[in-house]
Amino acid sequence: MSDPAESDVVRFKRLAAERAVDSIQPGMVVGLGSGSTSALVVRRLAALRGEGRLTDVVGVPTSVETEQLARALGVPLTTLEEHPVLDLTLDGADEVDPELRLIKGGGGALMREKIVAQASRRVLIVVDAGKLSPRLGTKWPVPVEVLPFGWRSQALFLEQLGARITRREGRDGALFRTDQGNLILDCAFGPIERPEELASRLEARAGIVAHGLFIGLTSELVVAGPGGVEHRRPT
């Protein structure tokens, strides 16, 4: 039943999460993304387990936060060491372009999210319609995870690529640290003309350990908005 206090965005995230979980089959090993939409996926999976369905599904969490939620709800977990190839990953995104290229990392879990996505046979991205964008970078900066060692050099390099940099802080105002202990530089490039080219330049730079451009990784998208829930595949 829907909660009358639930905002439209949360309702769309929940509807998308519920539809996405329909793609999980018994016995699957499933990557569990991070962020509020992924939390709704984990909650849905736990609710189905409570009904005696999908009880043999095991998850690989992409962040400490997701791991803690899954454990608290009794969703069984495994690791990429145990299962280096996953059947399916369900994850959210911050921005999705018409080719289903993504910006991710709003929650800072981009590195593990990308490792898990690349280890998955299928990657299903789950979003509310507000995440759709004509061009990546229009709505969201590209999070770039850097080693603390030499981070100022990486910030200068990113500025030379045209970014306006914000070093991410946590809600308490302290420096944000990823689950790996690294820093996040949020890089506002504005609308990005050639995301592949930018991704290659970021990947060639020592000290940058991950970036939030997810290109060629989305197998499917579930998007929910005022018009209903839609399941899309790249064209």
- The nearer residue to ligand 5RP, 53 or 209, going by C-beta atoms, is 209
Exposure class string for 103-114: b at 16+ Cβ within 10 A, else e: bbbbbbbbbbbb
Nearest to 87 by CA among 112, 124, 44: 124
Minimum distance between the CB of residue 103 and ligand 5RP, rounded to whole angstroms?
8
CA distance 195 to 10: 29
Minimum distance between the CB of residue 143 and ligand 5RP, rounded to whole angstroms?
8
Catalytic residue among 18, 113, 145, 220: 113
> Is 181 assigned to a binding site?
no
159 is an active site residue = no
Q: Return all residues near 14 (Cβ < 8 A) that are at least 6 apart.
A: 6, 40
Minimum distance between the CB of residue 22 and ligand 5RP, rounded to whole angstroms?
18
Phi, psi of 231, rounded to the nearest 5 degrees: -115, 115
Q: What character string, x for contact with ligand 5RP (CB under 6 A) and - otherwise, covers 82-121? A: ---------xxxx---------xxxxxxx--x--------
Nearest to 36 by CA among 58, 59, 17, 57: 17
> Is residue 18 near ligand 5RP by the rule CB under 6 A?
no
Can you say which residues are annotated as belonging to the binding site?
34-37, 91-94, 104-107, 131
Can you say which residues are annotated as belonging to the binding site for substrate?
34-37, 91-94, 104-107, 131
Binding site residues, ligand 5RP, CB under 6 A: 33-38, 91-94, 104-110, 113
